[in-house]
Amino acid sequence: MNNSPALFILQAMHFEFGFYSSLLLIFFVHGLVYAALLLKRGLKNETVSDKWLGLFLLLCILYIAPWMLGFGGWYDNQPYRDMLFYVPFQQLFFIGPVIFFYIQSLLNPGFRFGKKHWWHLLPGIGYGLFCLVMFVTDKLILHKYYFLGNGQDPDFDLWYQLVGFVSMVFYFLLSLRYYNLYRTMIVQVISYAELVMFRWVKNFLLAFLLMLVLRLLFFIAGLLPVFNDLAYTGPWWEYFSFAIIFYYIAVTGYSNNIVAKVPFRLHLITNKKILLLTGTHTPNEKDTFEEAEIIENNFDTGKENDIINEWKPRILQLIQQEKAYEDAELSLVQMAKTLKTNPTILSKAINQGFGKNFNDFVNHYRIEAVKEKLQAGEQKTQTLLGIAYDCGFNSKATFNRAFKKAAGVSPKEWIEKNVSGLSTNTL
């Protein structure tokens, strides 16, 4: 830590090391390191999600910077006081949109930041321009405090803190909806949904929700006289808690290595239609997207019987006789192409005809194939995991979860009851 660039800069400038300033400095430096690592990896591997997460961490360390530097003596000394006053460290209007773009880039390889996304950044840009106007007016034109005549940092004005909080809540809800639509969609269109369910996104959103809840609780506490008696040390705990949470996000987000493979487009206002890219490559403007419905698990076979009666035998032939389930990356679009139909019709036929979503439907036949191989004695020549891979599963965790969901017991328990000659150690 003694060789860190951030600490070198602070030593060259005015900084008073103490309990409150030093604790936040630790998280500031570590957050800066993780942000740099994510941005570097994003540029090297061209992973857009890493760049957005790195940017989010930069916004987080800027968020705690005024309190770290304030306890380091900056508000009591010039020119550091003016730096804190006129530089908008707390970019509250950018945090929400950056989170929303991170979620989209992580879940959807078809996401690209374009002209239509700039409007999300307009409030943040507007606040930056407002700070610039304050600086030019006070320091270059009037040569005195006009906008900042009250001697308060504008980052902590009540209007900015409240509107910024509302902005973050709005984008949290938007991100949560996007993730929920993704979870609804992904089990309908691919046969390896467990692998790309992105539980990390759920944990990330929970962590950000905790940030919002803590902000609200500390705001309410600030209305109490006993809390006000603590002066600056009371609110400091909010920023310390915030720092702990973004450090968790930094560590776990950097270790996430799951990559989405299904480019899509959807409308957040309605979940009736999605657009699925006809392939798994990086999309561009000339690509063809196929329209498909996000089908809920409504198994009313009394409706659309014509579709079910026409396509159910064809689907069974492709799955049972041609063993399409052995393709570990089998998708709804791929199967629709093979059967020369569209994803919407195929999804309806599977959901309403078989009472399962696409992912569970395909995994059912994979599991049945595993059972057949075990009962035929193939465990004598290869491991259980090898058999699972031959039947279309692409990971041990996915196989175990899918097996227990379909059979009601774990593979180990099923084997002990139904198969002789297989050691459970091969699991």
Q: What is the 3-state secondary structure (H, E, C) of 126-140?
A: HHHHHHHHHHHHHHH
Token look-up 């989405």 returns 260
Q: In the 8-state DSSP scheme, what is residue 273?
A: E
Residue-level pLDDT at 133: 93
Compute the distance between CA of residue 291 and CA of residue 419 in angstroms, rounded to an integer.
45
Q: Contact, 69 vs 80, CB < 8 A?
A: yes
Cα-Cα-Cα-Cα dihedral of 251, 252, 257, 262, to 10°?
-130
Compute the distance between CA of residue 337 and CA of residue 386 in angstroms, rounded to an integer.
29
* 41 and 184 belong to one structural domain: yes
CB count in 10 Å sphere of residue 347? 21
Which of these three, 229, 259, 289, is where a domain ends?
Answer: 259
Q: Contact, 22 vs 28, CB < 8 A?
A: no
* 147 and 246 belong to one structural domain: yes
Which of these three, 203, 227, 259, is where a domain ends?
Answer: 259
* 362 and 351 belong to one structural domain: no
Q: Contact, 154 vs 66, CB < 8 A?
A: no
Q: Contact, 380 vs 421, CB < 8 A?
A: yes
Compute the distance between CA of residue 260 and CA of residue 270 in angstroms, rounded to an integer.
22
Q: In the 8-state DSSP scheme, what is residue 331?
A: B
Residue 410's domain is classified under what CATH number?
A: 1.10.10.60
What domain count does the chain have? 3
* 19 and 79 belong to one structural domain: yes
* 102 and 170 belong to one structural domain: yes
- Tokens representing residue 298 in the block: 């409504």
Residue-level pLDDT at 142: 87
* 67 and 186 belong to one structural domain: yes
* 175 and 308 belong to one structural domain: no
- Tokens representing residue 166 in the block: 């509302």
Compute the distance between CA of residue 37 and CA of residue 43 in angstroms, rounded to an integer.
10
* 139 and 175 belong to one structural domain: yes
- What is the block-wise mean pLDDT of the chain (427 residues), using blocks of 10 residues? 52 78 94 96 91 96 94 88 91 96 91 91 95 91 82 88 96 94 86 83 94 91 68 82 95 85 75 51 44 45 68 91 91 88 84 88 93 84 90 89 86 80 48
Cross-strand bridge partners of residue 75: none
Q: Which of 413, 41, 360 is nearest to 192 (CA)?
A: 360
* 73 and 161 belong to one structural domain: yes
* 147 and 187 belong to one structural domain: yes
Which of these three, 327, 355, 383, is where a domain ends?
Answer: 355
Domain span holding position 347: 263-355
3-state secondary structure of 266: strand
* 136 and 271 belong to one structural domain: no
Residue-level pLDDT at 426: 47
Residue-level pLDDT at 395: 86
Residue-level pLDDT at 231: 63
Residue 53's domain is classified under what CATH number?
A: 1.20.1070
Residue 291's H or E segment, with its range, is strand 289-293
Q: Which of 96, 100, 122, 101 is nearest to 112 (CA)?
A: 101
* 320 and 365 belong to one structural domain: no
